[in-house]
Amino acid sequence: MGKIGVGTVSVGPEAKRLINEALDKNRISQGRLVRRFERLFAAYHGPTTHAVAVGTGTAADTLALAALYDRGAQRGDEVVVPALTFIATVNAVVHAGFVPRFVDADPLTWQIDPAQVAAVITGRTRAILPVHLFGKPAPMDELVALAAQHDLAVVEDAAEAHGARYRGRIVGTLGLMGAFSFYSAHIITTGEGGAVITTDEDLAGILRSLRAHGRACKCEVCRLNVSSAYCPLRFQYGDDVDTRFFFERLGYSEKMNELEAALGIEQMARLDDIVEARRANLFYLNEQLAEWAEFFQFLTEAPHERLSPLVYPLVIRPDAPFTKRQITQYLEHHDIDTRPMFGSIPTQQPAYAFMGHRLGDFPHAEAVGDRGFYVGVHQDLTRADLDTIVERISEFIRQSLR
């Protein structure tokens, strides 16, 4: 048996066929396969949804926030973010020109604590950026209500939560925009890549502009690129001004390519099956490890939500007779891949020391950083793999109790 990995990538025959077709046609930059993937992803999230594919999940967050400048936001305005998240979420806030305002985690769910959000909202706040961490939905009812009260946008970071549901609604559709990642270790993958979804057609056009340097040409399908046909918008800004080289806003270079889209097209056909397999694996591990509940906090599902688990996270309880380093080293030594849970970005990551926060400012996020780790829960794990994870964790604990 090989190493039991945290993530998985499987490329099927349809993806290979589409990739070879793109190579044969010498068209590998953004084109018809990207548009096909966008339409599949949009349709999955609702009939009125638009999807705009971009280069990474970080870019999805960044461009979604940058689109708010067209709605009146100013550089230096603030965005409320969870302290407990992957650093990409916060990097996106900064890259988009905003200032992050951090909120601690709820110790029971690990999601942003809505009870603390109101305290960080100021006259400069423009958005709340909740993260559906590890595939568990954030408390959207409370966050959407707070946003409405203060006239803020809600941009959902659903990078790790494809297919998760909150009160029957799929995550990413509960706010103004939803941002997703298709990184290789995520629930579905295009290798790299990301997407932003929205029901707002105007915002979709702005996002297309932002991913292409901010250019004024932002139709879903460019007639000039597809067939060199007549485009009535080509000279809308003047006879000597080509829309394709006229830039309305500060933008980015963040397009998805055809080879990535080919992977995504195939994976969209399997998304629901992938989510179901991951759910089954998580619930099986929870059941088999229940005897050790005195030592671990598990990822669990509330009645109002449907998890789409990215990984299998465990937070070691404070009075456990072992440390995170001890158990993860043991698992790694026995060919079970582990990763640390993210912890508090403003107080446990040197990159954000400039914000001036101190250890103790976000105690619940910091506790997860100190005592949290995860192993795999992906769809390519076998029952034997899962049983090995259970056996090794149980074996380690029994040795620790001697």
Fold classified for 13-268? Aspartate Aminotransferase; domain 2 (3.40.640)
Hey, which residues does 373 pair with through a beta bridge? 314, 340
- Cβ of 169: how many Cβ atoms within 10 Å? 14
pLDDT in tens, 337-353: 999 999 999 999 999 99
The yes-or-no verdict on residue 241 having pLDDT over 90 is: no
Q: Is 357 designated active site? A: no
Report how far residue 28's alpha carbon sits from residue 184's, in angstroms, rounded to the nearest whole number: 19
Q: Which residue has the tokens 């949009």?
A: 42
What's the whole-number mean pLDDT along residues 228-243? 73
Report how far residue 306's alpha carbon sits from residue 256's, in angstroms, rounded to the nearest whole number: 29
- Cβ of 309: how many Cβ atoms within 10 Å? 26
Sign for the pseudo-dihedral over CA of 98, 104, 106, 110: positive
What's the whole-number mean pLDDT along residues 154-164? 98
pLDDT in tens, 194-217: 999 999 999 999 999 999 999 988
Mean pLDDT highest for which of 46-50, 222-226, 309-313? 309-313
Which of residues 226 and 15 earns the better pLDDT score?
A: 15
Q: Is 375 exposed, middle or buried (0-12, 13-18, 19+ CB in 10 A)?
A: buried
Report how far residue 257's alpha carbon sits from residue 55's, in angstroms, rounded to the nearest whole number: 8
Q: Torsion angle, CA of 293/299/143/370, rounded to 10 degrees?
A: 70
How do the domains of the chain map onto residue ranges? 13-268, 271-401
pLDDT in tens, 99-137: 999 999 999 999 999 999 999 999 999 999 999 999 999
pLDDT in tens, 54-79: 999 999 999 999 999 999 999 999 99
pLDDT for res 227: 56
pTM of the model: 0.94
Three-state secondary structure along 287-356? HHCHHHCCCEEECCCCCCEECCCCCEEEEECCCCCCCHHHHHHHHHHCCECCEECCCEHHHHCHHHHHHC
Q: Is there a common fold for 13-268 and 271-401?
A: no
Cα Rg of the chain (Å, integer): 22
Domain 271-401 has CATH 3.90.1150.10: yes
Task: Give the active site residue among 45, 186, 364, 378.
Answer: 186
Q: State the average pLDDT for the chain.
A: 95
Amino acid code (one letter) for 206 = I
Report how far residue 46's alpha carbon sits from residue 144's, in angstroms, rounded to the nearest whole number: 19
pLDDT in tens, 361-377: 999 999 999 999 999 99
Name the strand (E) or helix (H) holding 197: strand 194-198
Q: Is 32 exposed, middle or buried (0-12, 13-18, 19+ CB in 10 A)?
A: middle
pLDDT for res 224: 61
pLDDT for res 1: 59
pLDDT band for 169, please (50, 70, 90 cuts). very high
Q: Spell out the residues 6+ positions from residue 163 whose beta carbon is closer than 8 angstroms to its own.
A: 170, 187, 271, 272, 274, 275, 308
Report the half-sphere exposure of 346 (CA within 13 A, side-chain side): 23
Per DSSP, which regions of 83-167 are E strands?
A: 99-103, 125-128, 153-157, 165-166
Whose CA is closest to 296, among 321, 312, 320? 320
